[in-house]
Amino acid sequence: MCGIVGLFDLRGGRPVDGGLLRRMNAAIGHRGPDGDGFLEEPGIGLGQRRLAIIDLSGGKQPIFNEDGSVGLVFNGEIYNYKEVTRELQARGHVFKTASDTETIVHAWEEWGTSSLDRLNGMFAIALWDRNRRQLFLARDRLGEKPLYWTILPDGMLAFGSELKALLIHPALRRSIDPQAVEQYFAYGYVPEPLTILQGVHKLEPGHMILLEQGNPDVNPRRYWDVSFADPVRTDEASVRAELVDRLRESTRIRMIADVPLGGFLSGGVDSSGVVAMMAGLSPQAVRTFCMSFQQKAFDESSYAEKLARRYATDHHVEQVDATALGPIDDLGAIYDEPF
């Protein structure tokens, strides 16, 4: 899963509290059991918790460019990193690791903010360019990876993968946002860019922020949106074939990993489609995992078992007792805000 945190001085190059940065990072330690890393320079501090998926030995963060002037912490995965890496190497960039994280660093050197147009993945990015004195924050197109941010009263910007990381900061005002409460009662959750706290924001999907030391302006801007300008006009058989082709390719690129992987299988249309694609792409039996419930009205494990038999998966079922109240307190801490 991984997680990132950071502190950035919008007013200049004041020292960052390294102890506070580490406490913020520790607050999201559950997101990355495989280690942590930090970048600290005048006016900037970045932290990361790592769940190692690609390049287990060489992908430790932060990762830097050739001369150390660009550093990055990153939560997510870039599915087309090998193709982008080859293009960057052809342009003269030298890679020290085989990780997808380093691809983002060199893509920034080559294309700046336009590098986002070339990245196919899920991500929350925090990149520091020392020469430009710029901090670049970005979230993937559909918002799979979270990123919270706020401007503190002293002009410091704080951000993190979870709201609980920001709550570690003693200067954060803990005032409920009435508009967020209204949105919560309307939708059952607090939608972007709001959070339950006034002055704390979620970076919206498909958005980025480019910040400069000494410039107090913080202006998130959209870099991508769904386009409906060219509706599909073709026969049904072609649309069906294209849907399967796209689902197969989308599944294939998500199976790139240096650790074992599997599929959550509920028995519904979406997870069944993904597992069907995985089974056709994997030379070994796919590991599948399902949650079952004692309450039959909520239990779909029988459908999952049918799919598991159909595709001969290595199937595992874990039963959940929906009447057990033990996890309630843990859920409140996990969600951070009403859900």
What is d(CA 225, CA 230) in angstroms, rounded to the nearest whole number? 14
Assess whether 2 carries a catalytic annotation.
yes
What is d(CA 64, CA 61) in angstroms, rounded to the nearest whole number? 9
What is d(CA 201, CA 337) in angstroms, rounded to the nearest whole number? 12
What is d(CA 329, CA 339) in angstroms, rounded to the nearest whole number? 13
Catalytic residue from among 2, 54, 72, 105: 2
Q: How many CB atoms lie within 10 A of CB 170?
A: 8
Distance of CA 65 to the CA centre of its chain: 22
Q: pTM for this structure?
A: 0.92
Written as tens digits, the pLDDT of the chain (339 aa) is: 799 999 999 999 999 999 999 999 999 999 998 889 999 999 999 999 988 887 777 778 999 999 999 999 999 999 999 999 999 999 999 999 999 999 999 999 999 999 999 999 999 999 999 999 999 999 999 999 999 999 999 999 999 999 999 999 999 999 999 999 999 999 999 999 999 999 999 999 999 999 999 999 999 999 999 988 877 778 889 989 999 999 999 999 999 888 888 999 998 999 999 999 999 999 999 999 999 988 888 889 999 999 999 999 999 999 888 777 777 788 888 889 988
